[in-house]
Amino acid sequence: MSVALGLTRPLVVRTTLVGDPGDLFAQLPETAPYAWIRHGEGLVAWGEAARVTVPPGPGRFDWARDWLSTIFGEASVDDDVRTPGSGPVAFGSFTFDPESRGSVLVVPQTILARRDGRAWLTTIGEERLDLVTPLRDPGRIRYGDGSLTAPEWEHAVARAVRRIRSGRLEKTVLARDLTATAERTIDVRLLLTRLARRYPDCYTFSCAGLIGATPELLVRHTGEMIESLVLAGTTPRGTSRADDMARGAALFASAKDRYEHTCAVESVREALSPLCSELKIPEEPELLMLPNVQHLASPVTGRLSAGASVLDVVAAMHPTAAVGGTPTEAALDVIRELEGMDRAGYAGPVGWIDARGDGEWGIALRCAQIEGPRARLFAGCGIMGDSDPASELAEAQAKLRVMQYALEG
């Protein structure tokens, strides 16, 4: 094995069926856990058998695929389970902007997984018996402005609206960040537990300090089949069932939100059509209700026409119009000009891939980057020609409350 890959010998991988482990998060040690969980099923992991920082640039997904192909191809694998997520698995987080540094792939040393009534354990090398300690509360949280204050961000939205009305583009997405400082080191496991309990319909994830619960499935790849969930168009939840229904009806009837959703759907159609022999996209969106917001949602399914890996599909789809804008390059130019920050992993692809090329990747939304007692929280909004800066700020604040809840309980 090439020393350049960070290994002196091939990985030795063993996957076996195990009894139901119960709460997967309860099995995690405190140090640098990895996770991808929805409705109590998925993968958790810890330790690092291999890790690499992916070089920035337009070819980063090809570079990542080649690195994984070498790592997985030379591994000695004994897999009794033979299902998506068994055998060696890499967790990954890619920055939103291809030119930003910080994209990472990690092959954990220990992976515990459960799906469809089966549970399995994957170990690489010697089995790690890390001590599982009680969850620790971070104490009092102090918040501060991120790259822009609220009024500055509203001004950025107004400038973006003027760009759109001038005809330069149809839509862009502007993100906000917020800083948080805790009294004590933040226990990622506590955040994951709170997020999974509060937002079971979302994908609760942890990779290289990026923690969140995203409602948006970028792609699930199982054999030849792929699935995606397009979200664009948002309104806060109501204060009663009647208010909820009224807000949902207004969202469904909103020309601005429906057009925003159409842009997102068409960007996915354009990305997936060359890769798929079959592609099914509903003619009308549906309403997805989460504890804090409602979204317009369109589930997408397809059959790949060639043996592409999940990373190939991720490369084709990112960035979608839901997190970038339309047309893509013009929207990205506006983002770089007006946001005043590097998004890092926010709104970038996050998820996992196995040696067969199967995997699940989401868009890193409703998330925070955690480092010791500090966190950087993110939220973004789709900006159209008729967007109101104050309304967009309220939407961003509603989305930021996801991670504020995780921090505060």
Residue boundaries of the structural domains of the chain? 3-126+144-408
- For the chain, 409 residues long, give each residue's pLDDT as a single digit of tens: 343 355 668 999 999 999 999 999 999 999 889 999 999 999 999 999 999 999 999 999 999 999 999 999 999 999 999 999 999 999 999 999 999 999 999 999 999 999 999 999 999 987 666 789 999 999 999 999 999 999 999 999 999 999 999 999 999 999 999 999 999 999 999 999 999 999 999 999 999 999 999 999 999 999 889 999 998 888 988 889 999 999 999 999 999 899 889 988 998 999 999 999 999 999 999 999 888 889 999 999 999 887 788 999 999 999 988 899 999 999 999 999 999 999 999 999 999 999 999 999 999 999 999 999 999 999 999 999 999 999 999 999 999 999 999 999 8
CA 14/CA 25 separation, integer angstroms: 21
CA 159/CA 177 separation, integer angstroms: 18
In this structure, which CATH number among 3.40.50.300, 3.40.120.10, 3.90.380.10, 3.60.120.10 belongs to the domain 3-126+144-408? Answer: 3.60.120.10
How far from 162 is each of 256, 307, 322, 324, CA to CA, in Å? 16, 44, 20, 17
Write out the DSSP string of 128-152. P-PPP--------EEEEE-SS-HHH
The helix (run of H) or strand (run of E) holding residue 266 is helix 255-272
How far from 387 is each of 120, 162, 326, 384, 398, CA to CA, in Å? 48, 10, 15, 5, 16
Q: Which two tokens stand for residue 408?
A: 């505060």
Contact present, 35 and 17 (Cβ < 8 Å): no
How far from 365 is each of 33, 258, 344, CA to CA, in Å? 19, 20, 12
**What's residue 2's pLDDT?**
42
CA 367/CA 65 separation, integer angstroms: 25
Residue of 225, 357, 230, 358 whose CA lies nearest to 301 = 225
**Among 48, 127, 170, 171, which one carries the catalytic annotation?**
171
Residue of 134, 115, 131, 125 whose CA lies nearest to 18 = 115
**What's residue 129's pLDDT?**
67
- 280 flagged as catalytic: no
Terminal alpha carbon distance of the chain: 45
CA 382/CA 396 separation, integer angstroms: 10
- 171 flagged as catalytic: yes
**What's residue 194's pLDDT?**
98
**What's residue 4's pLDDT?**
39
pTM confidence score: 0.93
Residue of 223, 219, 224, 221 whose CA lies nearest to 317 = 219
Contact present, 282 and 298 (Cβ < 8 Å): yes
**What's residue 293's pLDDT?**
87
**Among 216, 339, 360, 395, which one carries the catalytic annotation?**
216
Contact present, 96 and 323 (Cβ < 8 Å): yes
**What's residue 6's pLDDT?**
57
